[in-house]
Amino acid sequence: MDDLFDEVGISAKKGASCPKCHAELKPNAVLCVACGFDLQSGEHREGAKIQAAGRGGHDLAADDLLARAARQIEIDKEEDKKNLTHGAPAYVYLFGLVVIVAFAGMMFTLPKGLAFYITGWSLVVFVGVIQVYYGIRMVIVAFQEGPKYGFLHFVPFYSLYYLITRWDRVGKWFMKSLGMIPLAIFGGLLVGLGLLLGLTHQEKEDSWLYDRPRHPAVCLVEPLSRSSHSLA
């Protein structure tokens, strides 16, 4: 059979081949140098295709590209591991410490309702600022891909389309933004609790004046006796 292939000028492929373009792959290859198909993630990497430039140059460029692709995959794995294991950034813990200290101080100097109210709004504002920061990071990634993708973020609903189609690039920022929502909900509950308790001491101290039932005033007039008239 091999002789028959040789006679017609066709060589039988040996070893693994690319599932997308069916090009022959080297052992332990992680990227197809013919079409740029990533064998591990199943995605197409732009700029990975190499044009033939002589046998020696092609092999050298292919080896260099495979080495860079392997390093990039390892870097991506390390970044994903950090995002899952390292927890929240340091500024989140710093803000939490500041809020706890400020809340403890307000409990001794301000009405309890007002302390809860201020703390709740502080949490809500903090979450809003962090979510705006994550949104800006997503826009920066879009501008790095191309200016038109960045400016398209100002078109309604395009950011949602970009998020879905570029999940590997901006998905981590979106997930971090979602992770701040429970903190905002907790802040809203504190605001509601503060309104329920009352924002001033005066409302609590003078509440008995308003809760006391009111009775109409009765004026009693005693009639003058006859003796008093005679003396007059």
Average pLDDT along the chain, 232 residues, taken 10 residues at a time? 53 67 73 73 59 50 72 70 56 77 80 87 89 90 89 88 88 87 91 86 50 53 53 49
Cβ-based neighbour number of residue 232 at 10 Å:
6
Q: What is the pLDDT of residues 101-131, one digit of tens each?
A: 888 788 778 888 888 898 889 889 988 988 8
pLDDT value of residue 85? 47
The predicted structure's pLDDT at residue 25: 74
pLDDT at 113: 85
pLDDT, position 180:
87
Quote the pLDDT of residue 42.
Answer: 67
The rounded distance, in Å, linking the Cα atoms of 176 and 186 is: 17
Measured CA distances, 15 to 27, 123, 171 (Å): 8, 59, 36
